[in-house]
A and B are shown apart, each in its own frame.
Chain A
């Protein structure tokens, strides 16, 4: 299991209906590409986050496939426009099978 993995998200607590809000996410992860070799010449096994999704009340907002060339601690910033209050669910899928989740509620007025 990859060590020191910690997801972080930043979502405004409230917004106006239909207004585009900015969502920021970051997961601390080593993102080992699988291309490097150690001192003995053995390949360091690949260990990356390979997929990231964000859903709002069951509806998909963004779905991203990550590739080995992406650098450490991948950061995503995107916008969403929502019409009612609810919860954002963020999910990161690790190569080792681990799934990291964060949930943030937003109040729409």
Chain B
């Protein structure tokens, strides 16, 4: 009888390993950059011991697209952003490159965004549009538009491989608390919070989708489903919409706060931008 019990347990464990949980692959890009896809959860994260990059939950075929930059479809958009960086726009006759010598000088920026500047929580998109407005005298870009997300991806790429390290104390604290509150709030007719899927049930299948922990360290992400770069706020909107709730607007204070809290959950993982997902 005891033997039977042991066999049952073994079978149960092996099924679990096959269908759930992240896989054991490790992510090295271009045979060069080693990314951290698994590490101890930051101290403030009470309900998780280990955090895993969303890459670990994807199929081998999707994972392969991120291993070599030539195969990564997001790089087409990164190339376009390099052109945008050098293109004059607006009434001041300036391009990004007029002030910022090279995009490489933004190395490290995406690892510490969002952050509080002059008492206000700033995410990369609002940072870029502020510069376009105040310095270049140019029309702001649409939040989830191709130009904006290509630029966010290009700037994010400079920090690829660096650990996420957002500040959550001091001035950032109230925004972080607001984001945390949102993360655990049930939204919509389906009464689902972010945590219900991405904390309580990651590794399981939600219909055809393998639930990850919902880290945002690879955004903007090239989603195969949409065949373009997807912004963080677009994904927030998608998730909340799927709970059958009225969503917040892209670029709203709520989503900025959620972005900060989400980034703080990824502290210790590396910036993966631009990632490739299903």
Contact = CB atoms under 8 A, between A and B. Distances in A.
A10 B70 contact: yes
Interface stretch (B71-79, B98-106, B199-207, B262-270): B71-79
Given A6-B79, A28-B79, A73 B73 contact: yes
B80 interface: yes
Interface in A1-49: 4, 6, 8, 10, 24, 26, 28
Interface string B55-83: 00000000000000011010010011000
B227 interface: yes
Contacts of B76: 26, 28, 73
Interface in B233-277: none
A91 interface: no
B227 A24 contact: no
Contacts, number: 15
A57 B73 CA distance: 30
12 contacts: A4-B80, A6-B79, A8-B70, A10-B70, A24-B70, A26-B70, A28-B76, A28-B79, A71-B227, A72-B227, A73-B73, A73-B76
Nearest to B70: A10
B277 to A, nearest CB: 18
Given A28-B76, A28-B79, 8 more contacts: A6-B79, A8-B70, A10-B70, A26-B70, A26-B76, A71-B227, A72-B227, A73-B73
Interface of B: 70-71, 73, 76, 79-80, 227
A16 B64 CA distance: 26
| A interface majority secondary structure | strand
Interface of A: 4, 6, 8, 10, 24, 26, 28, 71-73
Nearest to B73: A73
A79 B76 CA distance: 23
A4 B227 CA distance: 17
A73 B79 CA distance: 13
A8 B76 CA distance: 10
A8 B79 CA distance: 11
Nearest to B71: A24
Contacts of B73: 73
A6 B79 CA distance: 9
A13 B76 CA distance: 23
B147 to A, nearest CB: 12
Nearest to B79: A6
B84 to A, nearest CB: 11
A24 B69 CA distance: 11
Contacts of A72: 227
Closest 4 CB pairs of A and B: A10-B70, A28-B76, A24-B70, A73-B76
A76 to B, nearest CB: 12
A72 B73 CA distance: 11
Nearest to A77: B71
